[in-house]
Amino acid sequence: MLIILLGPPGAGKGTQAESIVKNYGLAYVSTGDILRKAVKEETPLGCKARENMNQGQLVPDNLVVEIVRERLMEPDCFKGALLDGFPRTVDQAVFLDQALPDIGTKIDSVLLIEVEEDELIERLTGRRVCSDCGANYHLKFKPPKVRNVCDQCGGDLYQRDDDTLETVKERLDVYKKQTEPLIKFYQEKGLISEVNGNQDINGVYEQIKSILDDL
């Protein structure tokens, strides 16, 4: 089973990925993690990627996909894998389609977690972090007992730069530009399954489970 998990920032992909991987015995494949690992271990592909990164360039799509292909050939992926947020563009999706037959696998489903933009903005801009111990809070969903004070250590809570309203809107705009064509690409292949991400965490997972159980 090879599953792709898509969704905008704040949609809860990470939380749902944990449940999917645990309950279906899938390997968790994050391109950021495997790219850093390949660079650190100085694999041939990792060295090529580092050359681009050292020059301040993006790692080419075909190279990223090749690194993903190598990851999918590792033993823990034999029972299946979950690709979290990858591919991000149509070009990456095309390269991935070309690479998968070589390892005898195919994409079974593309789960798209959809959340209304106003809800995403509220989720992302409401996050706060303790400046001392790093504990996480949310103004609506997990507020501290005392405003702007950490429950655990009494440290000051702050808003990360990437959680400001301006930055959040920029992140959502980038997601729309990159991902909407990708969604259409997979819709035309009949692989997209839409998931209502406006529900609570358990509700979202139950909908995902019903989709995966039917594969």
Contact 43, 63 (CB under 8 A): no
The domain spans of the chain are 2-115+174-213
Alpha helices in the chain (DSSP H): 13-24, 31-40, 44-54, 61-72, 90-99, 117-125, 165-188, 201-213
Query: Please, what's the largest Cα pairwise distance for the chain?
Result: 56
The set of catalytic residues is 13, 88, 127, 160, 171
Which tens digits make up the pLDDT trace of 70-116?
Answer: 999 999 999 999 998 789 889 999 999 999 998 999 999 999 999 99
Which tens digits make up the pLDDT trace of 108-158?
Answer: 999 999 999 999 999 999 999 999 999 999 999 999 999 999 999 999 999
Q: Tell me which residue of 43, 46, 44, 62 sits closest to 54, measured CA to CA.
A: 46
Write the CATH number of the domain with boundaries 2-115+174-213.
3.40.50.300
Amino acid at 184: K
- Supply the pTM of this predicted model: 0.85
User: Between β-strands 81-84 and 27-29, what pairing exists: parallel, antiparallel or unpaired?
Assistant: parallel
Q: For the packed helices 90-99 and 61-72, what is the interaxial angle rounded to 10 degrees?
A: 40
Contact 170, 77 (CB under 8 A): no
DSSP class of 94: H
